[in-house]
Amino acid sequence: MDGQSETALPTTIDSSKQQKAKPKSSPTGIISKTAKELGVDYLISKEGLPTLKERHAQRLAQQQHTQQENLEKIFKLTFDSSQPDKTKDIDPDWLSHFMAIASNIRNNAMQHLWSRILKQEFISPGSVSLKTLDTLRSMTHREAQVFHRACTLACHFGNDRSKKLLTALKAKHPLLPRLLAPKIHKINLGHFSLPYSDMLILLELGLVLKSELESGELAAGIALPFSYQNHTYQLTPNQKGLSFTYYRLSPTGQEIAELLGSKVHEPFRETILELLASYFIVEGE
C-alpha cells in the first residue's frame, strides 16, 4: 500500500564545469505519475484514449486486473500454507465479504496477513468475524505493524486468557497499607517500541479497550498462572496487596492477535521477569 520513492544523493556543484544538480521530484511530478498509474491522467497529460467512456472502461479493466491478481496471490499463499485434509467449507456470505476487501490488498506483507485470515477460516469456519475483517480493511500497513509490535508485548494471567498489555505492578506497604501510598512500578512500553502515540492509534482503531484496568489484589502464597507468548510461569506473591494495571485487547484485537501468532520480545521478557522476581516466587521457564 505504501509506496517508496528514491531520494537522490546530494550533488556537489562544480562551477568550473558548469554542472547542475538534478532537481528532486516535484509534487506535480508525483501527482501526474500517480494519476497515470490509476488511469486518470488524461486532463494532465492530454494523452490516452479520445473519449471519456473509453478511458473509463480502460481504467475499470486495469482495476479489475489488479484485483484479480491480488486475490490469486492471497489464495496461493493460503493454499501453500494449509493442509487440505484439515479444511472445511466456508460460509459463502463471509467469503464474498472477504473477497470484496482482499481484492484491494496490494502490499505484500498485508497479503500474507489476509492469507492467514483465510487459512484460519478454512480450518475453523466462523472463527473470524465480519467485524474483524472490516477493522483490518481500515488499517494501513503501518497500523498493522504497530499492532503486531503491541502483540509481542502482550501477556495473560489467571483464568482469563485475554491478552493484556501490562502498564504497572502496584505494591501496597506490607505493614501500613492504609497509611502509606503503594509503590507503583511502571512498565514503560515506549522502551520496547510501543510509545503512547502508538497506543493511541490502537485505542482509536478499537483493537485495545480504552480504559486502563486493574486486577484485584493477588492472594499471598497462592500461585497465579502467568503466560507471556509461549512462556508459562507460576507466580506466587510473597506479600499481600499486589496488583497489576493493564490495557486489555478488545474482542476484535484478540482475534487478530491470534492470527499473528507468538513472537517473543526478549528484552521485554527479561525486564518483566526481573520486576516480578522482586515480589513473587517465579517458577517455570
10 has a pLDDT exceeding 60: no
Lowest mean per-residue pLDDT among 10-19, 56-65, 86-95:
10-19
- In the chain, the percentage of residues whose pLDDT exceeds 90 is 66
Higher pLDDT, 181 or 17: 181
Contacts of 90 (CB under 8 A, 6+ apart): 121, 122, 125
pLDDT surpassing 80 at residue 41: yes
Parallel, antiparallel, or unpaired for β 183-186 and 160-171? antiparallel
Q: pTM of the prediction?
A: 0.76
Q: Could you tell me if 226 and 235 are in contact, meaning their C-beta atoms sit under 8 angstroms apart?
A: yes
Q: What would the pLDDT profile of 203-260 be if each residue is shown by its tens digit?
A: 999 999 999 999 989 998 999 999 999 899 999 999 999 999 999 999 999 999 988 8
pLDDT at residue 70 greater than cutoff 80: yes
Compute the residue count for the chain. Answer: 285
DSSP helix/strand/coil, 147: helix
